[in-house]
Amino acid sequence: SSPSSKDTSPLEAKIVIDCLNKSKKENLDNFKGIEEKVWVQVGENDRVYAIVQEEKNKGKRSLDFFLLFNLTSLMFKDLQSGANLFAGIEHPNYNVRTPEIPRSIFESLA
């Protein structure tokens, strides 16, 4: 079951897919829907997938996505207690998981 909205707090992020040449522009179609496949994971908790807040198309050269992740209070407590933070994308044409995100980057989030 998913946590109630009263038990969550937002974490905001931005991703940019930038295509500077024509062949890369044509590849943008291969990444349709990628913004809905971005996730974060705190420790052993379930992955939290992004909610798209805003999408900007800059002249078909780049796509900017402003994303929201609803983390539970337990996830924030786990971060404060030293749990690892990971992020990734689970898309058919681009599947990646980051190594552990260094504490120095996410300390201000918790």
Q: What is the CATH number of the domain that holds 37?
A: 2.60.40
Q: Are the CB atoms for 84 and 43 separated by under 8 Å?
A: yes
Q: What's the CA gap between 3 and 54, in Å, rounded?
A: 23
Residue 73, in any domain of the structure:
yes
Q: Quick check: is 106 in a domain?
A: no
Reported as half-sphere exposure (CB side, CA atoms, 13 A), residue 76 has a value of 13
| Residue-range definition of the domain harbouring residue 41 | 5-100
pLDDT computed for residue 1 by the predictor:
42
Q: For 50-102, what is each residue's pLDDT tens digit?
A: 998 877 665 556 677 888 999 999 998 998 898 999 999 999 988 888 888 77
24 within some domain: yes
